[in-house]
Amino acid sequence: MRRADFKPDFPTETVSEGKAKVVVPKLKAYRKLPSDYAPSKAPVFYNPVMELNRDLAVLAVQAYQKLVNRDLRICEPLTASGLRGIRFAAEVEGIEEVMTGDINERAFRLAQYNIALNKLVGKVGVKNKEANYLLSPYSAPRKRFDCIDIDPFGSPVPFLDSAIRALRDGGLLAATATDMAPLCGVHPRACVRKYGGKPLRTEYCHELAVRLVAGSMALAAAKHDIGVNVIFAHQAEHYVRVYVVIKYGAKHADESLQNMGHVLHCFKCLHRETIEELYLPVNEKCSECGSKLSRGGPMWIGKLFDPHFCELMNGNVSRRGLRLGKRIEKILTLAEGEAEAPVSYFVIDKLCEAMSIPVPSVKEVVQAVRRKGSEACLTIFHTRGTKSELSAREMKEIVRTLAVSAKGS
């Protein structure tokens, strides 16, 4: 499409992000009430809040390219304005082709225009097709993509089967989920329907949301005798995001499913534990207070971060001059430190609320746990959270001791 041919029938503005310059809907025109969510009301979806998501996606694809050391073919089948796919082509070294698509004809035409605006015609293509319909022809050997990025408004589940089949052995799959109410336990039945696992409405629900999405990706892949390895994940604002590398073969699928299990949580004393089984007996009792345990899952209870992959991502941040660079470096540094940590985290405020005591700093709690001879770290999922192998009872005792010491001084 020639740029002069593009005449949108809706208000637009030009924005810059990374190395891309794109035309997008002017969101102010679609915000009539303070409660209006303008991105979903615009004729083409665009959300500036997802800049962090797109920044991390660019860093992840570049890190993956360095690991596999080959030119990549990427597919982004839910492209909207084309911004994400354009950024891949403009910012990642070693890109052979980026295929984008959108079922929305206005989005298709806008993406065409933006590709031409960034002088990427020939390197970035766009198709006016539904995402699954776009992906399906690429499921045959030697046609598959190296990377597929699923970034929907809502759940990625409807697109996982097609994406997995269209991904080559050893390929990178990234998926965003914005339906946080089901994933965090507000609508548990919806979560079971979509993700195949029961959520828990706990203080560490954001990590469990990531694990439920990762679990749904593992189960979707296993149906095709494909295993997954989760290498990075994060949560921000209204979404969670999971990156996995897939591996063909029934053996890899079986190994992947060994990372599936359940989280058992006691809402009375805050005890929690993981069970590495897909199926559990009912009526589990809390080992600390004897109360009935609530069960979440099945979900992914394996590792969420590959420290080497996070290091590769982090090492590439400073030279890019990203607007959110400092925030990204903090996220990736925390992820590296959290790589070997257990499932779930303790929110210090929640522990203190349960005991009606003053709240110490998270840094003090981490130092106190380490003095006790146990590992402890901060988490990317909550600014007031800390991870440790200690039980809820032991964590309460540490926090209580800190509160008494603070009061005495």
* pLDDT tens, residue by residue, 77-123: 999 999 999 999 999 999 999 999 999 999 999 999 999 999 999 99
Q: Are 13 and 38 in contact (CB under 8 A)?
A: no
Which whole number is the average pLDDT over 14-38?
91
Q: How far apart are CA 227 and CA 253, in angstroms?
A: 4
Local structure of 220: helix, strand or coil: helix
Cα–Cα–Cα angle for 160, 222, 205, rounded to 5 degrees: 65
C-alpha torsion angle, residues 334, 217, 75, 52 (rounded to 10): -30
Q: Cα 259 from chain centroid?
A: 18
Query: For the packed helices 51-68 and 83-91, what is the interaxial angle rounded to 10 degrees?
Result: 40
**pTM of the predicted model as reported, rounded to 2 decimal places:** 0.95
In this structure, the number of other CB atoms found within 10 A of the CB of residue 361 comes to: 12
With CA atoms as reference, report the closest residue to 3 among 86, 126, 110. Answer: 110
pLDDT score, position 280: 65
User: How do 95-101 and 145-150 pair as beta strands?
Assistant: unpaired
In the prediction, which pLDDT does 7 show?
81
- Tell how many helices (H) and how many strands (E) occur in the chain: 15, 15
How many other C-beta atoms are found inside a 10 Å radius of the C-beta of residue 262? 24
Mean pLDDT, to the nearest integer, of 255-266?
95
**Any idea what DSSP says for residue 158?**
H
Q: Contact, 92 vs 58, CB < 8 A?
A: yes
Q: How confident is the model at residue 277, as a pLDDT?
A: 77
Is pLDDT of 270 > 90? yes
pLDDT at 283: 66
Q: Are strands 167-177 and 226-236 parallel, antiparallel or unpaired?
A: unpaired
Q: How far does CA 26 lie from the centroid of its chain?
A: 27
What's the CA dihedral at 395, 396, 401, 407 to 10 degrees?
130
pLDDT for position 187: 97
Picking from 34-48, 82-96, 219-233, 305-319, which range would have the lowest pLDDT averaged per residue?
34-48
- pLDDT: which is higher, 185 or 1: 185
What domains appear along the chain, each with residue ranges and CATH number?
A: 17-300 (3.40.50.150), 345-409 (3.30.56.70)
CA-nearest of 278, 306, 182, 161 to 238 is 182
